[in-house]
A and B are shown apart, each in its own frame.
Chain A
Amino acid sequence: MRLSHRGVIAGLIAFSVGMAVVSMEGCKNPDSGKTGGATAGGEAAVRPKTTATGNAVTGNEIPVGEFASLTGSTATFGQGTHNGIQLAIDEANAAGGVNGKKIVLKTEDDASKPEQAQTVVTKLCTEDKVVAVLGEVASTRSMRGGSVCQKYGVPMITPSSTNPKVTETGDCVFRVCFTDDFQAAVAAHFAFDQGFRNVAIFKDIKNDYSMGYAKNFTDEFTKLGGKVTGEQTYQQDDTDFKAQLNSLKAQNPQAVLVPGYYSEVGTIARQAKDVGLNVPLIGGDGWDSPQLIPGAGTALEGCFFTDHYFSVDLRNPDTKKFIDAFKARYGANPDALSALGYDAARLLVDALKRAKTLDGPGIREAIASTKDFPGVTGKTTIDANGNARKSALVFQIKGNSFKVFKTYTPEQIGK
């Protein structure tokens, strides 16, 4: 080709490579990737406002969408949450619905995949024209669903996604649980209170929740005076962790933080024992699943994890009615995720009743102004960031079941 052609092409390539280099340098902070205006401070981030109007109720039915991981690697998350949501919606309909209109729940499965979550939420908002969306458990999938809901102006309530970035997506996204800056801080205080000063971290790089939890833990733990001896990463769906665990062992931690999902934690615990890393593991609410212990055998005995403020063992009189109803319908005790699903759905019904107009802005405003809603996981008030302030429990795994070990309130640790 002619010299001038070559020069032009070379110039363009150089330009793009140069841009790439420049961007890599400046962008150590993943938050800067968001046009949502998330500042480096994080806490007082401005939530983008939506301009879309969502869907309005037409006719005698109120279509409400739900997206959950009913199948896939985190199937128990979706199934448990769905059971809680379904119970709440059925109870609401039996009590007359919302001003006489019945709520129709449309549930979609995202197979534990973020791409699928985006697709099904788009379908719910555009084809099924739901007026609100409930979901999801995994923060990564909630963020995807949340950005779609924000685009279409449909309010979304996530029952148990704890990464702070989920509600930063925009003013259409709310949650009824605590955020990881609180949960991970609880873990840090707990670890410190147990006497651990040197902790290693083994986090899931494919998981926003895991990465965020690890970071928040590190910040709080080092503030308290502890030390993170080392960090390693794995990926969801990995099966072999020995090499990474071995390298963590070399720094002699007193405990290992594994803020991942139950699907890998069991195998990690086993392989940790195989490797000779005989220290307690600490985790987060991602461990909460009936499938956790079958995967681990006895390897998780004596380990701890933080979770939402719900347990059958607490024998809280407010929760008895819910527990009995759940047990009667599904034949098993509810776990924290089912309880949060139940609360999220009930809060939505309450907001629908309070909404001045049954359309996007109306419902959104009603949810945002929720104050002291009596939930089975605690009194729920939605703050300006769309988050709720709740207490946390620390469970210990003893004899193949979860036992409540300690309670932490936000005041206790200064949040």
Chain B
Amino acid sequence: MVRWALGRVVSIALTLVILYFISTYVGPRLQEYVLNVVVLCGIYVILAVSLNLINGITGQFSIGHAGFFAIGAYTGAAWSVLWLPRIIDLPFLKLGTFVGDATNLVIALILGSLAAGVAGFIVGLPSLRLRGDYLAIVTLGFGEVIRVLLLNTEAVGGARGMSGIPALVGSFHMELFWILLIIVMVIQLSRNLMRSVRGLTFLAVREDEIAADAMGVNTTRVKVTAFVIGSMFAGAAGVLYAHFFTGISPDAFDMNTSIIITTMVVLGGTGSVTGSVVAAILLTALPEFLRFMKDYRMVIFSTTLIVMMLTRPQGIFGHNELRWPRFLRRRKPAGQGSAA
């Protein structure tokens, strides 16, 4: 027991240290513009993998993910901009210092994720009664309702949004640290989920909900949990987005964004974590580096969706993950390999 706990603590500490060094040594060496693109890629990776948890692993089709993204961003921004200045000056909360920035960001992340989680819980409830495309429409509707609510709340700037958010993510060259940390968390969680016994229940719900129910799986708990966890990570991505770009408005969280995230999951393969990661990076970075793609971005995205559905509906990676190359693994009996 002690060895298990010690192992966990050591691996987490090691991860944090490695990420810190990556962030502070690689970060400053990158051109400003490239860094922006990397951060944006990272945020979309988090969004895609978190959506994959809901869509791919649990099979609940949700296309309102931008709503959770928005709630996380606004809650995090509300902390930094509205609430923080009104709290007594505590030394470890002072902005501008390493500890202060980090603590504030952690608090913002926690608040943002929790708020998004609550929203995910609310949005997940209809999933108990609805299936397939109806659920998709309802989630889309929720995404829009969230956006309209934010549009109308003067306290968070209404249609103009909030600007002047303290750049907590970018300070002390820690952007990569935070982005990579959340990415590692969400990917690790997804993979652990799929490999664990509890995770099998998620997959069972995806494959055949009624059979799973008949087998004694608490489908209610599974579906709601999927929504909550997925939305929490989307909220975390939102907090990071708000504190890196220092300005948010409801426009950034509209239906287009939801559909872009969905395209990433579909392109990569619903159910494949590597697929989501690869697709997210591809679809964010390519438009930045290929000018023509940027102008026709949405046309290319929509055509990609259609072509994918016609030719390879399971996505690039299908239901598989990227594994170590075959010659590095022990030989498995013939007949394995990715599904056609």
Contact = CB atoms under 8 A, between A and B. Distances in A.
A interface: dominant SS = helix
A126 B170 CA distance: 15
Contacts of A22: 83
A30 B33 contact: no
Interface stretch (A200-208, A270-278, A348-356): A200-208
B33 A205 contact: no
Contact of B249 (A28, A114, A122, A151): A114
Interface in A23-69: 23-24, 26-28, 30, 32-36
A127 interface: yes
B111 A16 contact: yes
Contacts of B111: 16, 19
A11 to B, nearest CB: 11
Given A35-B85, A147-B247, A151-B246, A27 B155 contact: yes
A114 B114 contact: no
Given A35-B85, A126-B32, A127-B33, A115 B155 contact: no
B interface: dominant SS = helix
Contacts of A235: 151, 159
A12 B246 CA distance: 26
A206 B245 contact: no
Contacts of B31: 126
A35 B247 CA distance: 12
Contacts of B163: 34, 143-144, 147, 169
A167 interface: no
B29 interface: no
A12 to B, nearest CB: 6
A20 B82 CA distance: 10
Interface residues of A, number: 39
Contacts of B78: 20, 23
Q: Which of B33, B158, B161, B164 has the most A CB atoms < 10 Å from its CB? A: B164
Contacts of A30: 154-155, 157-158
Given A26-B86, A33-B82, A123-B33, A205 B167 contact: no
Contacts of A36: 164
Interface in B62-91: 75, 78-79, 81-83, 85-86
B166 interface: yes
B81 A35 contact: yes
Question: For this complex, into which size category does the number of interface residues on chain B fall?
Answer: 35 or more
B151 A205 contact: yes
Contacts of B158: 30, 205, 211
A36 B153 CA distance: 21
Given A16-B115, A28-B154, A147-B246, A208 B82 contact: no
Contacts of B249: 114-115, 144
A227 interface: no
B118 interface: yes
Contacts of A151: 167, 246
A205 B152 contact: yes
Contact of B166 (A35, A114, A143): A35
Interface string B116-149: 0010000000000000000000000000000000
A354 B284 CA distance: 42
B164 A122 contact: no
B172 to A, nearest CB: 14
B164 A205 contact: no
Nearest to A17: B118
A33 B33 contact: no
A32 B114 contact: no
A17 B75 CA distance: 11
B151 A28 contact: no
Q: Which of A19, A22, A148 has the most B CB atoms < 10 Å from its CB? A: A19
A12 B152 CA distance: 26
Given A28-B155, A123-B33, A114 B161 contact: yes
B82 A140 contact: no
A113 interface: yes
A13 interface: yes
B160 interface: yes
B175 to A, nearest CB: 14
Given A16-B75, A33-B156, A114-B161, 17 more contacts: A12-B110, A20-B115, A24-B155, A33-B81, A33-B157, A34-B81, A34-B163, A35-B85, A35-B165, A114-B251, A115-B249, A122-B33, A143-B163, A151-B246, A205-B159, A206-B151, A211-B160
Interface of A: 12-13, 16-17, 19-20, 22-24, 26-28, 30, 32-36, 113-115, 118, 122-123, 126-127, 140, 143-144, 147-148, 151, 169, 205-208, 211, 235
Interface of B: 31-33, 36, 75, 78-79, 81-83, 85-86, 110-111, 114-115, 118, 151-167, 245-247, 249, 251-252
29 contacts: A12-B110, A13-B114, A13-B118, A16-B75, A16-B115, A19-B79, A22-B83, A23-B78, A23-B83, A23-B155, A24-B155, A26-B86, A28-B154, A30-B154, A33-B155, A33-B156, A33-B164, A34-B81, A36-B164, A113-B251, A114-B251, A115-B252, A143-B163, A144-B247, A151-B246, A169-B164, A205-B152, A205-B158, A206-B151
